[in-house]
Amino acid sequence: MIIAIIGATGLVGKEMLNVLEEKNLPVSEIIPVASEKSVGKKINFANKKYFVVNIDNALNKTPDYVLFSAGSNISLKWAPKFAEIGSTVIDNSSAWRMDNSKKLVIPEINGHLLNKDDRIISNPNCSTIQMLMVITPIHRKYGIKRTIISTYQSVTGTGQKAINQLEEESIGKKGETIYPHPIFQNALPQCDSFDQDGYTKEELKLVKETYKILDTNEIGISATAVRVPVIGGHSESVNLELKRPFEINDIKKILNNAPGVVVQDDPKNNSYPMPITVKGKDDVYVGRIRRDFSCENSLNLWIVADNLRKGAATNTIQILEYLLNKK
């Protein structure tokens, strides 16, 4: 199996290589692709050295699978070209997510939709993935009437330059700025650009992608996305109003049985999910599970995951695994 990784030198691309190696899939060759300035660099994978090539070179090699993490513009231009030659594309950008002809997949939730004829498959947004991993099993039992989400998102979601900005500001060094304001010792209520109604693209992704993956638009969803000076993972405060009565212990049982979800909820011992403890892990962690007494049939959750792993690279490789197991 030949796999090309488009954006192999970026944060997510590097993590894809890590996850691929950890899972020990039957990979005969890796084709690492990056921008022209990175062509010729060496990348190690499974005790072999590979040289970074440009995307034309990768196309000529006719890979079996192509994992994209190089931004929407690159995906829009090149994903169809790989699909045309018979490669299966799994895209981590927003390029194809809302395309009705493309599937938006979290394997634990809707992986059953995949089949061998799919040529371009879309990976959801990181914040959407971790939220739906937790709330979907609750929705399937009780039905969600409305949800209010506030996210606290790691700078890793923006990329290496954002990490550099945070680290430089933390030592008082002036460098390139990616955000419109300082991020060190700050919180920015802006993830991506604003639309005409005052919502950011990130907030709208949480709404639109949820509707597509759950195949419903009957859930009321309101989101606020905040960038915080954290490296390690995204956190979310999620309030759910359910359609039917519930017991908190039953909610915990559902989540304990949900694949890919870890319940960490022991407030007496100060045990709850945090970005610093989920870094490098593939599961989605949930804690602070409690009833909301201000609204009937409502509860609060605190959801944390490594956005580079389950929020991006791990989900991509899980889609690949799912396809391999279907053959």
How would you label 134-146 residue by residue, b for 16+ Cβ within 10 Å and e otherwise? bbbbbbeebebbe
**Do the beta carbons of residue 157 and residue 234 sit within 8 Å?**
yes
Element (H or E) spanning 303, and its range? strand 298-305
Tokens of 209: 């992608």
Task: Write phi, then psi, for 90 (nearest 5 degrees).
Answer: -120, 115
Q: Phi, psi at residue 271, to the nearest 5°? A: -105, 120
Alpha-carbon gap, residue 310 to 17, rounded angstroms:
14
Q: Which of 126, 181, 191, 295 is catalytic?
A: 126
**Within the chain, what is the greatest distance between any pair of CA atoms?**
60
Measured distance CA(177)–CA(159) in Å, rounded:
12
The verdict on whether 126 is a catalytic residue reads yes
Looking at residue 87, the DSSP 8-state letter turns out to be P
> What is the distance between the terminal CA atoms of the chain, rounded to a whole angstrom?
13
CA 61 to CA 73: how far, in whole Å? 22
Q: How far apart are CA 128 and CA 2, in angstroms?
A: 29
Instruction: Give me the catalytic one of 181, 191, 234, 295.
Output: 234
Q: Please spell the DSSP secondary structure of 142-153, one letter per residue.
A: H-EEEEEEEEEE
Our answer to whether residue 112 is catalytic in this structure is: no
Question: Other CB atoms closer than 10 Å to residue 43's CB: what's the count?
Answer: 19
- Locate all alpha helices (DSSP H) within the chain, ordered by sequence: 11-23, 55-60, 72-84, 107-110, 126-142, 160-170, 201-214, 248-256, 275-278, 314-326
Nearest-5° angle of CA 71, CA 74, CA 75?
Answer: 80
Q: So which residues are the catalytic ones?
A: 126, 234
